[in-house]
Amino acid sequence: MEAIFEKLEKLNQHFRTSSSQPENERFLQRIVKLNEEVGELCEAALCEVDKDQRKKDKLIDFDAELADVIICALMLSTGREVDINLEIHKKLDKVLNRFNIE
Ligand SMILES: [Mg+2]
């Protein structure tokens, strides 16, 4: 996971230095991009369960779309004060606890 966060940070640095876009605008743009990727993931899920949905001219890869969603979601964590690793651990512990799983 550490290597992934290093790559995300490099990407974030690139976007910050190659554009004068304000941070709040970039943040909103990333939220919109995340929604776009979620839409693509939904389309891929439909194709997984119903092959007739598949577009003949377009290869749809559910796992690649899932990776896009995860990357976009994690990009939202770059440059923030809170450690997203810690937040994910806290959330997972909460869910495990809810189901009495140790
Ligand atoms: Mg995508």
Question: How remote is the CA of residue 51 from the centroid of ligand 1, in Å?
Answer: 19
Q: How far apart are CA 24 and CA 33, in angstroms?
A: 14
Ligand 1 centroid from CA 37, angstroms: 5
Angle at 5 between CA 79 and CA 80, to 5 degrees: 15
> For the chain, what is the mean pLDDT?
93
- Report the pLDDT value the prediction gives residue 60, as an integer from 0 to 100: 84
- 42 C-alpha to ligand 1 centroid (Å): 10
CA of 61 to the centre of ligand 1 (A): 9
User: Binning pLDDT at 50, 70 and 90, where does residue 23 land?
Assistant: very high
Q: Which residue has the higher pLDDT, 79 or 100?
A: 100
pLDDT at 22 over 90: yes
User: Can you tell me whether residue 53 is helix, strand or coil?
Assistant: helix
Count Cβ atoms below 10 Å from residue 77 Cβ, excluding itself.
Answer: 17
Number of domains in the chain: 1
d(CA 11, CA 75): 9
∠ Cα 26 77 60 (to 5°): 80
The predicted pLDDT at position 52 comes to 78
Q: How many Å lie between the centroid of ligand 1 and the Cα of residue 102?
A: 35
Find the domain containing 37 and state its range.
2-98
Q: What is the pLDDT of residues 46-83, one digit of tens each?
A: 988 887 777 666 778 999 999 999 999 999 999 899 99
Q: 66: domain CATH number?
A: 1.10.287
Quote the ligand 1 centre to 3 CA distance (angstroms): 21
